[in-house]
Structure 1
Amino acid sequence: MSERSNSNNESNPNKSSRSRRYIIYLTIIALAGWSMASFDFNLFTLTLPLTSKALNFTVAEAGAISGIIYLGQFISVLVFGPLMDRLGRKVMFQLTLLFSAIFTGFTAFVQNYIQFITLRFISDGSAFAELPTGLTLITEESKPKVRGILYGFVQGGWPLGVFLASAIYLILVSSIGWRGLYLVGVLPLVLILIGRRWVKETDRFNDLKKALKGEEQTTRFKTNLQKAKEFPFKQLFTDKSIRRQLIAVNSAWMLYTFSFVTTNVVITLIFTSYYHLTASQAASILLLSSAIGYFAYPIAGWYGQKIGRRNAWALSSIIMPLLAAVFLLTARPGDYLSVLIPYIPLYFFSNGTFASPGFMYVSESFPTRIRGTATGFTMALIAASYAIGGFLFYGVLTLTQSIYLTWIALAIILPIGALSILIGKNIPPSAELEEISW
C-alpha cells in the first residue's frame, strides 16, 4: 500500500481541528435532522388507520405499501452514499432534508393510492438518507472516546421523532386531519435546513480530496491514495478484509431488520385491528414508548463504548426476541394496559439498543475514502430489508390469516439471526478511525 502522512502532524496526525462548541452544534443539528426524518416517516405509521380508510387499502396492503416505501429508501441511500465520497458530506447533508421537505408537503394533496405511494416513496427515501450522512459526519468529527456516545444521542432522534409525531397527531388530527399533519411536517424540516448553514466539511474528507487533486503532497490522515482513486463501490468488494466486514455487518442488519416492520411500522394497525384499541390509544402507546425509548440510544452508546459495539449489538439480539415473546403472551385484546406495559421494553430493545451501537459499528468499520459509500450501501440493504419485511408481513399474514403466528415468525424467530454479527471483527471502542481500517 502507498501511504502518506504529514510530517508536521506526526505527534498527533489524526487530531481533529474542530472546537468543542462546533461538535456540540453538529451533534444537535444532526439530532434535529434525524428526529425530523423520523417524524416524517412516523406520520405515515400514525396516520395509517386514517389514510387506509380515506384511500381504501387493507391492513395487508399497508404492509405492501411499507415495502414499496422502503424500496425508495434503498434507491436513495444507494445513490447518496457514493455522492458523499465524491461531492462531500456537507452538501448531501442538506439535500436529504430538502427533498424530504418538498415531498412531505405534497403528500397532503394526494387523491388516490398510487399518488400516496409515489410521494412517500420519494419523501421517506430522502429522509432515510439523513442517517448515513449524519452518521458519517459525527464519526469523522468526534474524538474516539466519545464518538459512540455522541452518536447515541443523535440516533436517539428516532424515538424523539416518534414522540413528536405522536404528540402532534393526538393534539391536531381532530382539527386538521391527516392531510394537515403532513403540511405541519414541512416547517421543522425547513427550519433545520436553515440551521445547517454553519455545518463544515470534515477534515478527513478535505484532506483526502486535496491529496487526490494534487493540491497537497502529503496527507494528514493515513489513507491509501491509490485505492482512493478507484470507483467507491469497486473498493468495497475488491479488498478482502473490507468485503468480509461488509458481509458480516449487512447479514446481521438484514436479519434483524426483517422484524422491524412488524414490531414498529404496522404496529398501530396491529394495536387497532388485533388488540381492538382505538387509534388514539395506539398513538398514545407510541408516545409513551418513544419517550422512554429515547434513553436506550445514549445508554447503548455508553455501554457500547465500554464492551465494544459488536458485543452490545449481539446482546440485543438475545434480549429483543425474548421481549417480543413476553409481549405476545401477556398482551390481551381490549386491555390497554396489558398492551402498553410489555410494549414499552420491547420498543426500548427493538430500537435504541440495536441502532446506537449498530450504526456506529458500521461507520467505524470502513476507511474514510469509502465511509460514505459503505454506510450508504448498508443503509440501502437495511431499506431493502424493510421492504422485504413489509412483503413478509403481507405474505405471512395472508397465508396464515393470523397476527399471532405472523408475530412469532417475524418478531421472535427472525431477530435471533442478528447474532451473526459475532463473525465481524471486534473493534476497540476508542481506536482512531485510521487504526481500524484504511
Structure 2
Amino acid sequence: MSLESTANAATTALPRFGIKDTRRATVLAFLAWTFAVYDYILFGTLLPEMSKTFGWDASKASFVSTLVSVGTAVVALAIGPVVDWIGRRRGMILTVAGTAVSSAASAATPGIGFLVGIRALSGLGLSEQAVNATYLNEIYAVTEDEKIKKRRGLVYSLVQGGWPLGVLIAVAFVAVFLPLVGWRGCFLLAFFPAVIIALLCRKLKESPQFELELTLRKMRKQGQVAEADAMAASYGLVKQESGGLVAIFQGKALRNTLVLGLAWIVNWFGIQVFSVLGTTVLTEGKGVSFTGSLLMLIVINAVGYLGYIFHGWAGDRFGRRNVIAVGWLLSGILFSLTLTVAHGTFAVVVLYSFGMFFLIGPYAALLFYMGECYETQCRATGTAFLNALSQPGAIVAGVIVTSMLASGHTWGSAALIVGALGTFLSGVLMFAARTAETLKG
C-alpha cells in the first residue's frame, strides 16, 4: 500500500529544507536539464549532416528519427517507478549519467542499428525534467527559502528554461565545432559537461517527503505496520489501496492522467517538428541554408527561453492550466502563419520565434502543475509517465511525416498539418484538465 495526503491537519511537520540546499538543488537541476536537452537536441540538429554520411534521403532520415523515438519512449517510461523506488537524488544522478553515455556512444555509431539502440539512452536525459519536477516540487513545499516558496512557479520556469538554452547551446556548438571536428566530434564533446554535472549531483540532499517514505517502508518491512500507520497519520497521510502506475489511474489523479497524457502526445507533434527537427523544417520547408538555419535557431530559442519565464510567472498569477492551454493555441496559429504567409528572413524568424515562445514556454507551468497532480508515493511515476508520452507523440508524428514525404508532400505541408495543427489541438485538450484548486479539493 502507499499513502496520500488528506485534508486532516497533520500533528507532525516534515523537516524544513535549508536555503543553501534549496538553491544548490535548483542550480544543479537547471544544469542537469540544460545538458540533457543539449544531448537530446544534438541528434535532431545533426540529422541532416548524419544523413549525408550514411546516404539517407529525407524519408529515410525521418524513419530513423522515428525509430530513435521508439527506443527513447521505452527507456523514459521505465524511469518513473525507478525514481519512486531509489529516490530523487539518485534519480538525478542516473538520468544525467545516461545523458553522458548517450553522447559518447553516439560519436562511435557505425549505422542505424547501433544508433537507434544507443540513442534510446537519451530517454534517460529526457526524463530529467520529470525527476526535476518531482524533486523541486517536494523541496519547494518545505523550503526555508521563503522567496523561492512564494514564487516557486516562476523559479521553476528558470529551471525548465533549460530546454531552449540547451537547444541554443547545442545549435551554437554545432555552428562552431561542426566544421572543425565533424558531427561525431560534436557528440563526443557533449560527454564532458554531463559527467561533471552527474558528479556534482552527488552533493544533493534527498527530499524530506521521500525520506519519510523510506522510513515507512522500512518499518512495514520489519513488521511495524501499526507504528508505520500511526507515523503516517501524524503527517496527515492515509493508506491508498495501490501505488505506482495503478495509483495515477485512480481517484483525483485519473482525469488529469488521461487529459494530460493525450495533450502531451499531441503537443509533441509540434515539439518534434519545430524544435527537435527545427533545422530540417527551415532547410527543407522554408529553403534556408543549413548554416542559416543554425543562426536562426539561436535567435528563436533565445526568445523561447523568455517564454519559459513569462509562462512561469503567468502560471502563478492566472492559473497554470489556462496559461498552458492559451499558449499552445497561440503557438499553433503562429506556426501556421510561419509556414504559409511568412517570406524572407525577418518574417520567418519573428513568427517562428513567437511560435516557439508559446510552444515550449508553457512547459514551465506544465511540469510544475504535473507535480501538483500526484502524491509523494507516485509523483515521480506520474510525472515520468506523462513525460514518456512525449515519445509516442514523436513516434506518431514521425510516422505521419514519413508517410507524407514518401507520398510526395513537401516538408512545409507536413509541418503544417502535423506540427502546427497538433500544437493547436493540444491547447484545446488542456481545457479539459482539472485546475489546481480542484486538485486540492
Q: Tell me if TM exceeds 0.5.
A: yes
Matches within 5 A, 1:27-426: 27-122=26-121, 124-143=122-141, 145-214=150-219, 217-219=230-232, 221-227=235-241, 230-237=242-249, 239-332=250-343, 335-352=344-361, 354-418=362-426, 419-426=428-435
Q: Partner letter of residue 361 of structure 1?
A: Y
Deviations 1:342-385 (A, max 9, x none): 21111211111x21111211111111111011111111212211
Whole-angstrom distance in 1 between the partners of 2:252 and 2:308: 29
Contact 1:55–1:111 (CA under 8 A) maintained in structure 2: no
What RMSD in Å do the two structures reach over aligned CA positions?
2.3
Residue 9 of structure 1 deviates from its aligned partner by 6.4
Deviations 1:305-343 (A, max 9, x none): 1111111111113211110122123333xx433432321
Structure 1 residues 393 and 107: CA distance shift in structure 2, 3 A = same
Q: Partner letter of residue 363 of structure 1?
A: G
Contact 2:330–2:424 (CA under 8 A) maintained in structure 1: no
Structure 1 residues 259 and 2: CA distance shift in structure 2, 3 A = closer
Structure 1 residues 212 and 117: CA distance shift in structure 2, 3 A = closer
Q: Unmatched 5+ residue regions in structure 1?
A: none
Whole-angstrom distance in 1 between the partners of 2:323 and 2:240: 35
Residue 2 of structure 1 deviates from its aligned partner by 8.5
Length-normalised TM-score, structure 2 = 0.89
Whole-angstrom distance in 2 between the partners of 1:254 and 1:105: 29
Q: Partner letter of residue 108 of structure 2?
A: F
2:146 match:
none
Q: Partner letter of residue 331 of structure 2?
A: M
Length-normalised TM-score, structure 1 = 0.90
Residue 414 of structure 1 deviates from its aligned partner by 2.1
Contact 1:69–1:125 (CA under 8 A) maintained in structure 2: no
Q: Partner letter of residue 48 of structure 2?
A: P
Contact 1:261–1:393 (CA under 8 A) maintained in structure 2: no
Q: What is the DSSP-based 3-state SS (H/G/I as helix, E as strand, rest coil) of the residue aligned with 2:264? A: helix
Whole-angstrom distance in 2 between the partners of 1:277 and 1:3: 53
The list of structure 1 runs, each at least 4 consecutive aligned residues, that deviate by more than 6 angstroms after superposition, is: 1-5
Whole-angstrom distance in 1 between the partners of 2:15 and 2:296: 42
Structure 1 residues 406 and 14: CA distance shift in structure 2, 3 A = farther
Residue 67 of structure 1 deviates from its aligned partner by 1.9
Structure 1 residues 14 and 294: CA distance shift in structure 2, 3 A = farther
Structure 1 residues 4 and 69: CA distance shift in structure 2, 3 A = closer
Residue 59 of structure 1 deviates from its aligned partner by 1.6
Whole-angstrom distance in 2 between the partners of 1:2 and 1:181: 46
